[in-house]
Structure 1
């Protein structure tokens, strides 16, 4: 590998707000916010919307998706397809 072309990898804490779970892992992502980890060190903190702790595939739970509402909103915004109009 050529030196100087890859970003620096460092320990970073990712916090899943939905599941209230935190993960310490290595990443190239950076953040101005920090958090004190269990080992007493401060690490950059990055909040995420979803992770393996809250994703339905990994947790075995399913969420109801309002597809009917989405279809209706799409049809109101863009109209019905020509074949479906009478």
Structure 2
């Protein structure tokens, strides 16, 4: 490989998905404050909130988050424009 292409801190790093405790190792330059021991080897640890093993797109499990009834507010606000309402009037 050509010298000087990769940064000095390009190394194996462990990434841990905190939502399902999945850990995977890949090369990265990500900064890490903690370390983790896997199979007797010590790796820098980067904690993630979401990864490919917990993201709804990849798992097929979608979540509908309706904060403060936003969907109901929208439906109530625009129900006067629906085709069903105009036909019954």
Same fold (TM over 0.5): yes
The equivalences for 1:20-39 within 5 A come to 20-37=21-38, 39=39
- The match for 2:65 is 65
Q: Provide structure 2 residue ranges, at least 5 long, that are not aligned to the other structure.
A: 75-89
The count of aligned residue pairs is 69
- The match for 1:18 is 19
Q: Which has the larger radius of gyration?
A: 2
User: TM-score, with normalisation over the residues of structure 1?
Assistant: 0.68
CA–CA distance in 2 between the matches of 1:2 and 1:23?
27
- The match for 1:40 is 40
The root-mean-square deviation of aligned C-alpha atoms, in Å, is 2.4
Residue deviations 1:25-62 (CA, integer Å, cap 9, x gap): 1101121210001x311000010010001000100101
Greater helix share, structure number: 2
CA–CA distance in 2 between the matches of 1:2 and 1:30?
22
